[in-house]
Amino acid sequence: MIIGITDCSKYENYRIWIESAMPGIEIQKLDFHESQAEDISGCHGILLSGGEDVHPSMYNKPEYLSYCYPDDISLRRDEFEWKVMQEVVRKEIPVLGICRGLQFINVFFGGSLIPDLTTWGKFNHSKLPDNTDRYHSLSIDPSSYLYGLTGIQSAIINSNHHQSADRIGKDLVVSAIAADGTVEAIEKKFPEQGGWLLLVQWHPERMSPKDSPLVSTIRSSFLNAAENYKLKS
């Protein structure tokens, strides 16, 4: 089974998290400096990782650029991942979006972002002063696909981001929120249609405890979807 993972500064965290799930998984690094979107043709699942801010021009809000981190934004990555998502949708490849991955995929489907949560009056989402993850609570919609996977309605998750989803993309729906209303998970409005998709704002690849359903079950569900895709292809 081949899983494609988009490159970022913490790429190794994602690689190890997926590789350690079961033997025999091959990881394909999707480096926007070197890869072409067509390189995902042999992949059975795609993980869009965290990292840079999404450029506001991608969701028609160029006036938001001043709220982004100027040294942490890459239109080249945005344009590459846009092409990757076009292939994902066309081939119905299972896709898991984490942190930036949630934000970018929401934008791909026509959504928009809050460019800086603190400025918008939503606190306690960015990393702590010592650069470690913050932790806070979230609530899961009991009618959601995510609830069906995990069986939990509330939990504590890690948090390290300053942007979040605002307007939700076409045919997507919010499935988990923080206490202040910040979007923490997005899924398909009709999960049975098209390929498997789940988007989470937290970082399961480095969250504790490792056996939390919001870590282990999300990973196993993604990989099961990839395995099923492999069997069909």
Of 33, 25, 28, give the one whose Cα is nearest residue 47: 28
Catalytic residue among 99, 162, 184, 187: 99
120 CB neighbour count, 10 Å cutoff? 15
Catalytic-residue membership of 92: no
Catalytic-residue membership of 81: no
Catalytic-residue membership of 205: yes
Torsion of CA 133, 50, 189, 179, to 10 degrees: 20
Identify the bridge partners of residue 140 per DSSP, sorted by sequence position.
176
Please write down the long-range contacts of 32-38, taking CB distance under 8 Å and 24 or more positions apart: 32/6, 32/7, 32/74, 32/76, 32/77, 32/80, 32/81, 33/7, 33/76, 35/80, 37/80, 37/83, 37/84, 37/86, 37/87, 38/87
Backbone angles phi, psi at 160, to 5 degrees: -160, 75
Catalytic residue among 44, 125, 161, 203: 203
For residues 55 and 13, is the Cβ–Cβ distance under 8 A?
no
Point out the residues that are catalytic: 99, 203, 205
